[in-house]
Structure 1
């Protein structure tokens, strides 16, 4: 009788790979809700920085607002005040402001 119960219990056990389905499901949810949109934003940001040109208004990651005077492969020269220019790494550009936008202090 005990052999019959042990055999019946073993037959009802789910396969081992079925235990990993919730983990795979969580990974897929994280991929579509977190990682994929972040990669898309990063790619858009890289394209935006690559298309930066002279006279664009930019905001650095540190919050400095200025106008692009010169653009190189890795650096950009930005005028932050009249006669004050700084050379910054292009990857630290946080955003390129649309033309016609109001200055920050007005």
Structure 2
């Protein structure tokens, strides 16, 4: 067999297809809509919830503590979790605002 003939018989190199260029871009766009956008939407809703926090709201914290808001500061809140038991928390630890009278025993 003659290797020179085989080398000449090989086809020319093909131009790279547009698919090879567009596929990584498509994957990045898909990741944005699946991962980044929902997370930023959730963060925006959490910031709005914290901004609307007021005295008397009943909340659940990310640590699982339930209580009633007594004072609202710039970055901290004072929370009553039982009779004669009050704690001070960062606003960012608030996970959920509960419906009114969810914690009926706390006055």
Q: Same fold (TM over 0.5)?
A: yes
Of structures 1 and 2, the larger Rg is shown by 2
Using the alignment, how far apart are the partners of 2:73 and 2:23 within structure 1?
Answer: 49
Partner of 1:9: 12
RMSD: 2.0
Give the 3-state SS of the residue equivalent to 1:66 in structure 2.
strand
Change in CA separation of 1:73 and 1:102 when aligned onto 2, cut-off 3 Å: closer
Structure 1 segment 3-82 matched on structure 2, within 5 A: 9-10=12-13, 12-14=14-16, 18-82=19-83
Whether the 8 Å CA contact 2:58–2:102 is kept in 1: the answer is no
The 3-state SS of whatever aligns with 2:32 is helix
Q: For residue 13 of structure 1, report the CA deviation from its aligned partner.
A: 2.1
Runs of 5+ consecutive residues of structure 2 not aligned to the other structure: none
Large movers: runs of 4+ above 6 Å:
none
Aligned residues: 98
Structure with a larger share of its residues in helix: 1
Gaps of 5+ in 1: none
